[in-house]
Structure formats: C-alpha cells, structure tokens
Amino acid sequence: MLQQTRRTPWVAIDAGILLTDMADIARWLMDQFRGAETEILLENYIFEGGVWPGQVLGILEAKARSGVRVHVTLDAIGSRGFPSAWASRLRAAGAYVHWYHRLRFIGMEHRLRRTHRRIIVVDGQWAAVGGFAFADVWLGAGVSSPPYREALFACRGPIAQHLRLAFARHHPGFPALALPLPGSGTMGPEGGAAWGKGRLLEGLPPRRRGMRRRLLAVLRTARRELWIATPYFNPDPVVRRALQQAARRGVDVRLLLAGRITDHPLLRFGIQAYYQPLMQAGVRIYEYQGAFLHGKYALADGYWVTLGSANLDFLSLWFNHELNIELRSPLAVLLLRSLFVREFAHAQELAMGGWQRRPRWRRTLEWLLAVLDRWAQARALGRRKY
Ligand SMILES: O=P(O)(O)OC[C@H](O)CO
C-alpha cells in the first residue's frame, strides 16, 4: 500500500467551538492568527485573491516577520487563484508555502487526487477543521448569493498535536513539524467530560479509503437516526444502497443538501435522479433555502458526530485527501442536533408526491446526467471495484 488510512487514537477534547456563520468563522480565524506566538499551520483547498483573503495574508505575513513559524499548504488546482505575488510576499517574510500536487504529471488519478483538507493549527493548541475556504465568495461579498452556511469545528487538547502530524505529512521537508511544540496538548480549564473524546479520520488515497469504510460502518450499524449534511451528494451505488437499507430498517435517515443556491447547479440536477429510490426507501431529503449550504457534518444515534472537509460524494470518498474529526461527545451531539434542527427549518423537505410529478423533460435530463456520472465514475475507478 502506498498510503494508509489513519485513524488516530481517541483523546480527550479539552474545549471546543462550533461556528456556522462565515462572518464568525472569518473573525475567529483572524483572531487566532493574530494571537499566534510560535506557529501557524494552514492547509486549504481554496485560497484565492480577494479582500478577506488579503487581510488573512497580511496577518500571516506580519506574523512570519515577527518570528512566528508560518506554514501554508494549498492545493495547486483549488487555489489556482492565489496570486503568485502573495506567495512571494509570504516567502520574503519567512513563511513556507507548499503547493500540493502541481500538474506536472499526466494521468487522471493524479489530477483527481487533491488536498481537500481544511487544517488550521495555532501554537499547537487550537486545531480547526471544516469546509471553509479563504475566498470572498464564502462571505457573500461581491456576488448575489449570501454567505455560505459552513461548519468550522475547533478544539483544544492533544488532538491539536495529531493534526500537526497530519499537516506535516504534506510537508515532508520539515521534520520539525512532527515534533510536539512545548506546551502543546495541555489540558485547559474548560470542557472536561462534556466534550468527550475525539480523533482524526483521514481519507488517504489511493488504495485505502478510510473515510468511506467508516461511513459505511456507521450507515450499516445505525439504529435510530442518521442525519447527514453535505453540499455535494453524489456517492457511489454501494453508499447509496447503505443509506436506503438503513431507512428500510427503520432508521430516521435525513439528508440536508444544497438547494437552488449552489455553485454546481448541473451537478445538483444530475444527482436528483437518485432522489426517488432514496425517498421510496424512506430517506428524507431536505434542500437548503436562502443560502448555499456548504457545511459537511453528520450525526448518528445520538453518540457519533463527524465534521470536516469530506463531502458525501465520489471524489471525497475515493480520491481526495480529506480530514474530518470524529467525536464521541455529549456536547457535540447536542450542538449538532440543534444545528440540524435549525437548518432543517431553513430547508424544504421534498415530498414524494410532488417529486414524482416533475416534468418529463426534467426526468430525461436527470437520466442523461446520471448516465454521464456513472460513466465518469467508472472511468475514474479504472479496474477498481466499489
Ligand atoms: O469541494 P468543496 O466542498 O470544498 O467546495 C468547493 C467549492 O464549492 C468550489 O466549487
């Protein structure tokens, strides 16, 4: 095996924060960066030129100049809008900028395999994951769509050191990143038992797909509830079948998906071909209204929570480098359940009757897009089987 699935051990979470409004997320991130004393690690799929990203850049540059170790890893495709002058500014200030998978090689596998991870670690203390990106469109600036609905989960405790190690794997030239920072992982006064335990769940391509295996295990063993939020719903047939089987055995399966406001309307259209069999099995489908739902999180049976970068789609489950945090935490369950309830109230649940009455031209288009999707999946998988 070239690379492996990594699930770090369960460790206590000392304190946690769940943020869903992009303005809060942007503020929180900038405050953390401003307060950094020793080290800032930042990895993201998307970091592009703009007003807010420019402010973040200014803080990172100033911090690097003041002696804080600043390491930035950006995906070469997702962050192609990152101005080259910004990379030069960061480097001139003493920061390290690493491009992940530049398109040097030919081959679909290589092109598909992106770092989709969102990792922030500050001073080895606070670690954050989610689906946020450094782009003005996330904040709703300059476009007609309002800010994205996101989910950033930040926590303090030994898991920050695990996240540093995960970050270091994309920074092979810097073994120092793999060493614990003095004072990192210390126990804080807040939290305690309520935050429970957490661990990292990484999807590391190409051979082992830990994210998918873990998801399938949860889908196959859930007994009461399985609520999943994802902006891009396009899993392979095995995962779709597991969702249907869970609903058939009486589990309350709900999907919270992006509605009309999405950056990939064609993709949304294509995957709607899969709605009917899911609804017939008893899966409840909600489409978010009023904003682009971009958060990626799930809740199962009131004891399991996961948040992070992974979409419930083919690319996340088979190709991308993803990073989620899994939590066994009463407080996280409470927060996620309230978040779901709040977001369901802003979503429209699709009714089977109305859905079946959609026009024929629409069904035909969905069918065509689904055929295209199956062809693309088969081509990407090559000789691998689901
Ligand atoms: O792949 P995601 O979930 O990071 O979303 C990416 C943006 O929406 C760009 O299309």
Supply the residue whose CA is at minimum distance from atom 8 of ligand 1.
263
Reported ipTM: 0.94
| Ligand 1 atom, smallest distance to 231 CA | 3
Same fold, 11-195 and 210-381: yes
Would the CB of 295 count as within 6 Å of ligand 1? Answer: no
Would the CB of 324 count as within 6 Å of ligand 1? Answer: no
Instruction: Tell me how far the alpha carbon of residue 223 lies from the centroid of ligand 1, in angstroms.
Output: 31
Would the CB of 45 count as within 6 Å of ligand 1? Answer: yes
pLDDT in tens, 316-368: 998 889 999 999 998 999 999 999 999 999 999 999 888 889 899 988 988 89
Assign domain 11-195 one CATH number from 3.30.870.10, 3.40.50.620, 3.30.450.20, 3.30.300.30.
3.30.870.10
**Taken in order 58, 62, 64, 65, is the CA torsion positive or negative?**
positive
Instruction: Provide the residue ranges of all domains of the chain, joining segments of one domain with +.
Output: 11-195, 210-381
CATH superfamily of 210-381: Endonuclease Chain A (3.30.870.10)
DSSP letters of 297-311?
EEEETTTEEEEES--
Would the CB of 130 count as within 6 Å of ligand 1? Answer: no
360 torsion bin: left (phi>0), alpha (psi -120 to 50), beta (else): alpha
Would the CB of 311 count as within 6 Å of ligand 1? Answer: yes
Cα distance between residue 101 and residue 133, in whole Å: 18
pLDDT in tens, 168-183: 988 777 766 767 665 5
Instruction: Tell me how far the alpha carbon of residue 363 lies from the centroid of ligand 1, in angstroms.
Output: 26
Supply the residue whose CA is at minimum distance from atom 4 of ligand 1.
131
Site to probe by mutation for ligand 1, drawn from 22, 25, 45 as the one with most ligand atoms within 8 Å of Cβ, is 45
CA-to-CA separations, 188 to 17, 192, 334, in angstroms, rounded: 14, 9, 21
- Three-state DSSP state, 93: coil
Would the CB of 263 count as within 6 Å of ligand 1? Answer: yes
Instruction: Tell me how far the alpha carbon of residue 114 lies from the centroid of ligand 1, in angstroms.
Output: 12
Supply the residue whose CA is at minimum distance from atom 7 of ligand 1.
263
Supply the residue whose CA is at minimum distance from atom 2 of ligand 1.
131
Supply the residue whose CA is at minimum distance from atom 1 of ligand 1.
116
Would the CB of 77 count as within 6 Å of ligand 1? Answer: no
Per-residue pLDDT of the chain (386 residues; tens, 9 = 90+): 233 445 678 998 989 999 999 999 999 999 999 999 999 999 999 999 999 999 999 999 999 999 999 999 999 999 999 999 999 999 999 999 999 877 665 565 566 678 999 999 999 999 999 999 999 999 998 666 799 999 999 999 899 999 999 999 887 777 667 676 655 443 333 455 678 899 999 877 655 668 898 999 999 999 999 999 999 999 999 999 999 999 999 999 999 999 999 998 888 888 888 999 999 999 999 999 999 999 999 999 988 999 999 999 988 998 889 999 999 998 999 999 999 999 999 999 999 888 889 899 988 988 898 888 888 888 887 777 77
Would the CB of 131 count as within 6 Å of ligand 1? Answer: yes
Report the predicted TM-score, pTM, of the whole model to 2 decimal places. Answer: 0.92
Cα distance between residue 233 and residue 212, in whole Å: 14
Residue 283 amino acid letter: V
Would the CB of 44 count as within 6 Å of ligand 1? Answer: no
Instruction: Tell me how far the alpha carbon of residue 252 lies from the centroid of ligand 1, in angstroms.
Output: 28
Contact, 128 vs 42, CB < 8 A?
A: no
Site to probe by mutation for ligand 1, drawn from 43, 44, 46, 148 as the one with most ligand atoms within 8 Å of Cβ, is 46
Contact, 213 vs 236, CB < 8 A?
A: no
CA 289 to chain centre: 20
Instruction: Tell me how far the alpha carbon of residue 309 lies from the centroid of ligand 1, in angstroms.
Output: 10
DSSP letters of 185-253?
TPPPSS-GGGG-EEEEEEE-TTT--HHHHHHHHHHHH--SEEEEEES-EE--HHHHHHHHHHHHTT-EE
**Taken in order 315, 130, 47, 43, is the CA torsion positive or negative?**
negative
Report angle CA 243, 244, 245 to the nearest 5 degrees. Answer: 95
- Closest by CA to 314, choosing from 202, 253, 237, is 237
